[in-house]
């Protein structure tokens, strides 16, 4: 019954959106003849709960805080698939991953797939992509595909390195993730030197690797990232007194999918309390470094005189469990894995808006097209977020459904997972909805630790 309900909801939300909300677009643009610039900063593995209360108290994120104070924050923003390539495929296409068959990190969108940025370019925008993109098929090792094929076998293989920490540099070492800082340097240079001279609006995409864990040396070139690495400079941004140690169920009492993932993620061994706190603290410090990169983009827009004409968005492909539920990485429907940041500032966006409406990455596609005044070309899964952002929006005027969908078919699990999330409830179904027990959770924002997902019942 519940599986049928999910299928019905999915089919009903994939629709044509006719026309755009002219009042909202005028509020954002100020005039029919002016289209806003668009800058999207997309991180990797950033837990969205850190950008809202009370999660934002554990680590200093001044630039996410700036966006929250001067714009809007979505309190319930979610990935459509808790893994890199499929989640980004959803963002670029505006469609749920089963519609584009973006099943895992190996199988995603075709290289010539038409994205929202392609449509902006056709409409006269100057477009530029910098940094990590990761939405095209074949970008990861073929093992990501093989791992998904063998999950129904009796084999139980450790597919990831044991999560560890690595302290590098000293108290003045700011640039730990050099690859990302290079991307930021190129982006800020372009904003300062090229963007002000353009005669057309621009759309700039900036993709970061942080705060994704680093690859662990010695595990081979195809290994995933299991090293949480930072410097003393960034650790000072973390409030160690607020780092919690999640409570774990005994292995024997875990949900069968959790047990499988705990084993394949190499987390079934013994961890000291200090090890767990270190992993979580290092992860928060990595988030602080990513936030500083966002700050460089904000500063460049301000100093170039472009802030008032630019809509800036900050988000992530998915979150990071950081040892919640005895796991690290993502690939789970628990909050740490699926809850992402989504903040927006710019012309017409009401300051200090805290929007509880559940939203997801597929909503960015219709939102950005509506910002640019471009009609949707066909069916999409997402809904424009502009009615939830603008001062001109009519209360209750959003067409967004009261739920979001996430699904996962990739590695490190032994059953496909589906999540329906409303403001009050989270329902997770596995595989066919019958052979593996589903789960139901209730809402709580009392803590960033997994106990906040109060388990109300496990359905038969």
Instruction: State the catalytic residues.
Output: 84
Q: 3-state SS string over the chain?
A: CHHHHHHHHHHHHCECCCCCCHHHHHHHHCCCCCCCEEEEEEECCCCHHHHCCCHHHCECCHHHHHHHHHCEEECCEECCCCCHHHHHHHHHHCCCHHHHCCCCCCCCECCCCCCHHHHHHHCCCEEEEEECCCCECCCCCCHHHHHHHHHHCCCCCCCCCCCEEEECCCCCCCCCCHHHHHHHHHHHHHHHHCHHHCCCCEEEEEECCCCCCEECCCCCCCCCEEEEEECHHHHCCECHHHCCCCCCCCHHHCCHHHHHHHHHCCCCCCCCHHHHHHHHHHHHHHHHHHHHHHHHHHHHHHHCCCHHHEEEEEEECCCCCCCHHHCCCCCCCCHHHHECCEEEECCCECCCEEECCCEEHHHHHHHHHHHCCCCCCCCECCCCCHHHCECCCCCCCCCCCCCEEEEECCCCCCCCEEEEECCCEEEEEECCCCCCCCEEEECCCCCCCHHHCEEEECCC
């Amino acid at each position: 019954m519940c599986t049928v309900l999910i299928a019905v909801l999915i089919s009903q939300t994939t629709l044509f959106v006719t026309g755009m909300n002219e009042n909202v677009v005028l509020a954002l643009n100020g005039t029919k003849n002016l289209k806003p610039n668009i800058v999207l900063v997309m991180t990797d593995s950033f837990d969205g709960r850190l950008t809202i209360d009370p999660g934002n108290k554990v680590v200093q994120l001044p630039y996410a805080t700036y966006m929250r104070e001067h714009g809007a924050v979505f309190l319930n923003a979610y990935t459509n698939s808790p893994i890199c390539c499929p989640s980004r495929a959803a963002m670029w296409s505006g469609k749920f991953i089963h519609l584009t068959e973006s099943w895992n990190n190996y199988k995603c969108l075709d290289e010539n797939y038409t994205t929202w940025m392609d449509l902006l370019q056709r409409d006269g925008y100057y477009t530029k992509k910098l940094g990590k993109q990761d939405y095209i098929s074949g970008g990861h090792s073929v093992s990501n595909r093989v791992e998904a094929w063998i999950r129904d076998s009796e084999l139980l293989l450790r597919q990831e390195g044991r999560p560890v920490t690595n302290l590098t540099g000293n108290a003045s070492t700011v640039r730990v993730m050099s690859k990302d800082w290079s991307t930021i340097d190129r982006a800020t240079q372009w904003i300062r030197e090229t963007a002000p001279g353009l005669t057309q609006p621009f759309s700039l995409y900036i993709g970061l690797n942080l705060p994704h864990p680093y690859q662990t040396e010695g595990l081979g070139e195809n290994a995933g990232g299991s090293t949480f690495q930072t410097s003393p400079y960034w650790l000072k941004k973390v409030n160690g007194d607020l780092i919690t140690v999640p409570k774990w169920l005994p292995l024997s009492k875990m949900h069968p999918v959790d047990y499988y993932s705990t084993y394949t993620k190499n987390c079934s061994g013994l961890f000291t309390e200090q090890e767990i706190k270190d992993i979580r603290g290092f992860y928060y410090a990595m988030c602080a470094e990513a936030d500083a990169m966002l700050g460089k983009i904000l500063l460049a827009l301000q100093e170039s005189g472009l802030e008032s004409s630019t809509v800036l968005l900050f988000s992530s492909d998915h979150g990071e469990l950081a040892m919640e539920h005895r796991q690290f990485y993502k690939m789970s429907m628990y909050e740490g894995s699926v809850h992402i940041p989504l903040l927006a500032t710019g012309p017409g966006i009401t300051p200090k808006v805290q929007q509880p409406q559940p939203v997801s990455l597929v909503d960015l596609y219709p939102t950005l097209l509506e910002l640019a005044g471009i009609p949707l070309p066909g069916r999409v899964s997402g809904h424009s977020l502009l009615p939830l952002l603008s001062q001109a929006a009519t209360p209750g005027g959003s067409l967004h459904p009261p739920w979001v969908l996430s699904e996962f078919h990739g590695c490190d699990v032994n059953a496909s997972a589906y999540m329906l999330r409303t403001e009050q409830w989270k329902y997770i179904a596995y595989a066919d909805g019958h052979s593996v027990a589903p789960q139901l959770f209730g809402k709580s924002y009392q803590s960033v630790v997994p106990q906040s997902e109060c388990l109300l019942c496990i359905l038969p």
